[in-house]
């Protein structure tokens, strides 16, 4: 159920005390020469929509812009500063609790958001307001990702390319697949990204001239469908698990005497 498609009288009966909600979040940032800037938020929204339709649990509008300053050198990339992002998501989630929602799944598709969403969840958990957890789609199916692609790449690689091929194929420039591979970085081990245990980079462009990592040339629509279906199944199971718990069982344990 997409919350924003309904009238408030409809939602008065659907948003009850002790409810669960799905919140998709992504980014608007460069994804190499072959994928749209919308890649992350399109993936998050598509997965959240599929899970909401299967479970009947409400989905909120998508947070389209995230923490992406590490892609700022590429034209079109948009971002917000981390404190602003954290405060926005926290305020937004506290607003949901006003309507009876006390458990939230942040359906996230952007690595730059991860630590900040976990911090927001910690704050809400600590003061007993809500139980909000971050879920990253590719972390839910790592074995399948590894089985399908030899060079995954952390960004704009085959896994994201396959997902967008399934979700919005018209936005994928297949003629740029080889350019994405040859002008980017196929394997981080071939760079100086880590030297003597220290990460040497701050921005994507420090390692990849065109912003792509991995090799998307072996992507097929069938692989994209497999990834999407498997991730959706994991998300549905997570949402159902969370919805089955009472908030009290998820709040912090009392001080040990």
Q: Is the pLDDT of residue 189 over 90?
A: no
In percent, the amount of the chain with pLDDT more than 70 equals 100
Q: Where are the alpha helices (DSSP H) in the chain?
A: 8-14, 39-55, 82-98, 114-126, 142-148, 158-167, 177-182, 221-243
pLDDT in tens, 218-227: 999 999 999 9
pLDDT in tens, 20-63: 999 999 999 999 999 999 999 999 999 999 999 999 999 999 99
71: left (phi over 0), alpha (psi -120 to 50) or beta: alpha
User: Whole-model pTM?
Assistant: 0.96
Distance between CA atoms of 238 and 207, rounded to whole angstroms? 35
The topology under which CATH files domain 3-247 is: Rossmann fold (3.40.50)
Q: Report residue 15's pLDDT band, with 50, 70 and 90 as the boundaries.
A: confident
3-state secondary structure of 132: strand
Show me where the domains of the chain are located.
Answer: 3-247
Q: Report residue 14's pLDDT band, with 50, 70 and 90 as the boundaries.
A: confident
User: Of 196 and 12, which is predicted with more confidence?
Assistant: 196
* Closest residue by Cα to residue 187 from 158, 161, 226: 158
- Which residues, other chains included, contact 220 with Cβ-Cβ below 8 Å and sequence gap of 6+? 162, 165
């Amino acid at each position: 159920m997409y919350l924003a498609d309904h009238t408030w009288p409809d939602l008065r009966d659907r948003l009850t005390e002790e409810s669960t909600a799905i919140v998709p979040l992504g980014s608007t940032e460069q994804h190499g020469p072959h994928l749209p800037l919308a890649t992350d938020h399109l993936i998050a929204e598509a997965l959240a929509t599929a899970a909401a339709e299967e479970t009947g649990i409400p989905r909120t509008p998508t947070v389209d812009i995230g923490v992406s300053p590490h892609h700022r050198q590429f034209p079109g990339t948009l971002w917000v500063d981390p404190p602003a992002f954290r405060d926005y998501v926290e305020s937004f989630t506290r607003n949901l609790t006003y309507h009876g929602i006390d458990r939230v799944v942040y359906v996230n598709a952007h690595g730059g958001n991860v630590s900040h969403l976990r911090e927001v969840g910690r704050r809400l958990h600590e003061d007993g307001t809500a139980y909000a957890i971050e879920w990253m789609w590719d972390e839910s199916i790592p074995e399948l990702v590894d089985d399908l692609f030899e060079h995954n790449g952390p960004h704009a690689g085959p896994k994201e390319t396959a997902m967008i091929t399934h979700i919005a194929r018209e936005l994928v420039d297949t003629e740029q697949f080889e350019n994405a591979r040859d002008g980017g970085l196929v394997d981080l081990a071939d760079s100086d990204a880590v030297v003597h245990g220290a990460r040497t980079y701050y921005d994507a462009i420090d390692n990849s001239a065109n912003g792509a990592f991995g090799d998307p040339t072996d992507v097929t629509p069938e692989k994209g469908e497999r990834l999407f279906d498997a991730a959706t199944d994991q998300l549905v199971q997570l949402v159902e698990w969370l919805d089955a718990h009472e908030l009290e069982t998820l709040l912090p344990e009392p001080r040990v005497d």
